[in-house]
């Protein structure tokens, strides 16, 4: 889940796994997998950074120690 800010300055928490795509028109529009659209004040780069951070926490990479030796 990532925390974003709607245009009216209220916070919204979005399931990052449900994001289909993000566009800038100039407002940032997030389209979810169900085609629902959310307008946010966060830039595309901020949304990407938050999604990447969420994925790092949610899906950590497991390193096989035998491969690093």
Please state the pTM of the whole predicted model.
0.81
Question: Domains of the chain by range and CATH?
Answer: 2-60 (2.40.50)
pLDDT digits (tens, 9 = 90+) for 4-63: 999 999 999 999 999 999 999 989 999 999 999 999 999 999 999 999 999 998 887 776
Q: How far apart are CA 15 and CA 62, in angstroms?
A: 23
End-to-end distance of the chain based on CA atoms, in angstroms? Answer: 35
């Amino acid at each position: 889940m990532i925390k974003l800010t709607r245009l009216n300055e209220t916070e919204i928490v979005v399931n990052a796994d449900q994001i289909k795509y993000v566009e800038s028109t100039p407002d940032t529009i997030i389209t979810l997998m169900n085609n629902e659209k959310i307008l946010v004040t966060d830039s595309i780069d901020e949304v990407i950074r938050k999604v990447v951070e969420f994925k790092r926490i949610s899906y950590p990479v497991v390193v096989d120690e035998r491969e690093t030796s």
